[in-house]
Structure 1
């Protein structure tokens, strides 16, 4: 899975989850030398620049106008410190997130309480990811209505089956290099087009100005938009699932293996801090990508859909969102939007299938179903989930057929689970991360701010679930 590792039948001969002295590599110094070692964050961006942006963020812009622009920026920035701290522990130990979560007391038998919550999150995510495959199928259905009417049951069923089969065929090998390259290509296609259109809106009848942007930075939440705002905060930027699966890609890129096993030496500390700095750069690049993508989607929802009173709903979501393009550039741009929508929603599918397959497999390992350190058994189970998950997501969509609601349900549950992630990160930092690898005082402050913000989100979400309102 690293650049120098040979592969046989999709299985790395040098297992990145096994730390050995012969896997050690000196870390690069500076941005230029580090660039070729970036990658986990690009897979992260492929997952993030998808459902949250195209569906949840644009919907919120359509509902609230420019008023919540500030929340877009906060929601993408505030969770990065938590992501980086968990990845720091992973690079130092070679262990992925769910292995660490399972160590947080108290435990119920073999499984820790955090992983029990994760299992509940995974159930809600079946709806969210069903919404992703459904949104992609809807875009294909409108672009190429092969069976029946566009958005008709037959057309949606056909494209859902095609997408599931294609995803399984492409991702079955589960090779890191393939997943990374595909993610990069999909992110580039839609991000470039979307940002250019958002920046070009001031030249159209749906122009926005400095006063609009200023009104969006007042730190206010309009009445009636609180629920959508909470869902957006949970789903945009790095959510609980992205923070979790980022650790798997850091290992599979090679960061932990290149650090080597912890022998307590100063050489190990130097290597670990060097590769952690590379991970910082990787996280920073991904943050820039998904923040600009998120802002672009929100601006288009606020500038184009909100003045017309258009809010994406049901299977008509794709048609409503296409108004962003057709009302700005003309009817011909609808085709460009559909291709772009397929790319952005497809990027989430592309990154989510292998990511969730690894997390489900890791969860089974905590139950004792398999030995996570056995690369053959691990790959076998990852492939089982690579086949099963797209099929399950497709069934969920065809049963419910409301991508916006499905995505927002997953966003709310993500916000709740983020609180458990905060607890796990601090526990692992205190008990297993070598203090010589801690970030500086500035990072500690950022981690504290991130934790408080996420804690408040979780409290609000829980109160809302039980029908209690604040303010």
Structure 2
């Protein structure tokens, strides 16, 4: 991966080979967005319905591709960050994000640390999940506090490699039935499957970190419409990789756990590790738990950096005079700000209080409910911004992008409603 560059002297790559060398932000966004909870939900769907819902994973990947492309296109063609764009919609959009980010960060900090601590506790039980979680939080804190984007990108790429080998390797290990896999591409809705279909479509790497994608393109030095082909290649590689991970977990759930009652929550993945050990030996369990840790810890690194950049830009945009709010912002400017470092502290230390509840599953439920309220906001505001005069003709959404964005608004609004109803049942 290349390091941060001066966009004034580096031109956009002209061919696909040169583009592959620049890939990075898409991997960051996609790996961050897929956590242990997403993999558990996919595993449960596989155990209940086999490969029948594979088509929903494909559609979910397409939705995230469309959202990621829209975020990147706004940054490259408007010359403004997404927070500056939200300010043009009114102060209400800024306050919605700010309040949401503070509440979400408190719950997510505990959720991500807990998910990272679970596999370490299974591998090294001399420490409880709580204390492994705290150590993971401190490790993520130190890495993001002292590390630059180029370093974080390399670390995330290494973890992606571990995830690919372990999770996809496990799918090959259980020897899927290719005929059943192909039949799963045909859209069907078995009785009682609607909630799982919506979860699979909405959960393939979809979180607040999707909005951070534009800031990682800034860190790479991508500026202007000439970088659109590069951004689209990068975004596609990131979310196609995510789609492969989720399909692999659906295969594992279908082959190993069909007809079995699966424990929900992050501990469901530990149950799967025990099943692998019983069927194939301990040598299969350990790599899987290592992959589980990689999935969880990439979310710690990505959120601690990406959402902190969002929060730093929110603070900058909120306080800036109207004529300065849309000015070009540099990545280093945000990374060195007090708001950036303050949000890293907020993600790390106050949430440790929640770890003493020893309820990782309840944390995951609360995080899922909160997460559902950001995605319709992101999709809806992008739909408005990218069909307005805030961007030039090269940044406007065509009918394909608009169709996906409208579908995303409808889907995520329904998921938010479903989560809200579920909290009061």
TM-score (norm: length of structure 1) = 0.79
Q: Deviations over 1:131-181 (max 9, x none)?
A: 23212111111211224xxxxxxx122212211221111211241101110
What's 2:257 paired with? 305
Contact 1:135 1:315 in 2 (8 A): yes
Alignment of 1:68-467 (within 5 A): 68-104=53-89, 107=90, 111-113=91-93, 115-116=95-96, 119-120=99-100, 123-124=103-104, 126-147=106-127, 155-202=128-175, 207-211=176-180, 213-214=182-183, 216-237=184-205, 239-256=206-223, 259=224, 272=225, 274-307=226-259, 309-314=260-265, 316-323=267-274, 325-368=276-319, 373=329, 375=333, 378-399=336-357, 401-403=359-361, 405-429=362-386, 430-438=388-396, 444-464=398-418, 467=421
Computed over aligned residues only, the root mean square deviation of the Cα atoms, in angstroms, reads: 3.0
What's 1:20 paired with? none
Distance 1:466 1:49 in 2: 22
Relative to structure 1, the CA distance from residue 380 to residue 161 in structure 2 (aligned partners, 3 Å threshold; closer, same or farther) is same
1:3 aligns with 2:3: yes
Q: Deviations over 1:67-99 (max 9, x none)?
A: 221111111112312321221120123432222
Distance 1:93 1:357 in 2: 22
Determine which structure has more spread, i.e. the larger CA radius of gyration. 1
Q: For structure 1, which segment, 122-131 or 368-377, has the greater mean C-alpha deviation from structure 2 after superposition?
A: 368-377
Contact 2:144 2:152 in 1 (8 A): yes
Unmatched segments (≥5 aa) in structure 2: none
1:299 is paired with a residue of what secondary structure? Answer: helix
Distance 2:118 2:69 in 1: 35
CA deviation after TM superposition for structure 1 residue 389, in Å: 0.5
Distance 2:230 2:299 in 1: 24
Distance 2:135 2:335 in 1: 28
Distance 2:418 2:395 in 1: 39
2:188 is paired with a residue of what secondary structure? Answer: coil
CA deviation after TM superposition for structure 1 residue 223, in Å: 3.8
Unmatched segments (≥5 aa) in structure 1: 6-13, 17-22, 148-154, 260-271
Distance 2:351 2:71 in 1: 28
CA deviation after TM superposition for structure 1 residue 359, in Å: 1.6
Contact 1:230 1:412 in 2 (8 A): no
Distance 2:356 2:82 in 1: 32
2:3 is paired with a residue of what secondary structure? Answer: coil
Distance 1:223 1:338 in 2: 33
What's 1:262 paired with? none
Relative to structure 1, the CA distance from residue 42 to residue 368 in structure 2 (aligned partners, 3 Å threshold; closer, same or farther) is same
Relative to structure 1, the CA distance from residue 97 to residue 180 in structure 2 (aligned partners, 3 Å threshold; closer, same or farther) is same
Contact 2:32 2:302 in 1 (8 A): yes
Distance 1:113 1:145 in 2: 45
1:146 is paired with a residue of what secondary structure? Answer: coil
Distance 2:209 2:245 in 1: 16
Contact 1:240 1:421 in 2 (8 A): no
What's 1:267 paired with? none
Distance 1:168 1:364 in 2: 20
